[in-house]
């Protein structure tokens, strides 16, 4: 799957939840935060690919990708494409959120909603990759890839 496909899937999932199901008043700031969080979440699993399109969009991405690559045990479609990876990266995102915006407004529980947007983006990525023949090791450390095709 391509970077754009994952972004589109993430935005579709996020739009369905926030606009149709979880009807809340969204301030312009919160809308921007949700879009960025969903985009980041839908791109994060493929950070395990040093030559991935996402790294091209980050300043000094080729250097950073080689530095963080050892974190991704097993290479592409391994730890980051599992439920454990999902939990670990959601936790890291929450820590990043606390670091960047420690005093988020409590209105509409913004921090939780932004975290949900990241999670939706991430989950949509794993869901979309499960529709490929290669599948994903969703139950890592089990090496068996799960595919829905």
Residues interacting with Zn ion, by CB under 5 A?
A: 45-46, 129
Q: How many CA atoms lie within 13 A of 45 on its CB side?
A: 35
Residue 9 or 14: which CB sits closer to Zn ion? Answer: 9
Q: Is 146 helix (H, G, I), strand (E, B) or coil?
A: strand
| Secondary structure letter of residue 81 according to DSSP | G
* Residues whose CB is less than 8 angstroms from the CB of residue 65 and which lie 6 or more positions away in sequence, other chains included: 47, 49, 50, 51, 52, 55
Q: Residue 20 Cβ, how far from Zn ion at the closest point, in Å?
A: 26
* Residues whose CB is less than 8 angstroms from the CB of residue 134 and which lie 6 or more positions away in sequence, other chains included: 77, 145, 147
Q: Residue 4 Cβ, how far from Zn ion at the closest point, in Å?
A: 13
Q: Residue 142 Cβ, how far from Zn ion at the closest point, in Å?
A: 18
Q: Residue 41 Cβ, how far from Zn ion at the closest point, in Å?
A: 12
Residue 111 or 129: which CB sits closer to Zn ion? Answer: 129
**Distance of alpha carbon 20 from the chain centroid:** 21
Residue 14 or 44: which CB sits closer to Zn ion? Answer: 44
């Amino acid at each position: 799957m391509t970077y754009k496909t994952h972004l589109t899937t993430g935005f579709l999932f996020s739009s369905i939840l926030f606009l149709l199901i979880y009807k809340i008043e969204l301030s312009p700031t919160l809308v921007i935060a949700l879009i960025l969080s969903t985009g980041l979440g839908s791109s994060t699993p493929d950070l395990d690919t040093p030559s991935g399109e996402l790294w091209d969009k980050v300043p000094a991405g080729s250097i950073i990708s080689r530095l963080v690559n050892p974190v991704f045990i097993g290479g592409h479609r391994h730890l980051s494409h599992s439920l454990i990876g999902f939990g670990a990266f959601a936790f890291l995102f929450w820590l990043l959120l606390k670091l960047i915006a420690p005093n988020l407004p409590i209105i509409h529980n913004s921090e939780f909603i932004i975290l949900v947007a990241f999670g939706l983006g991430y989950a949509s990525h794993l869901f979309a990759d499960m529709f490929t023949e290669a599948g994903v090791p969703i139950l890592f450390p089990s090496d068996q890839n799960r595919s829905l095709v």
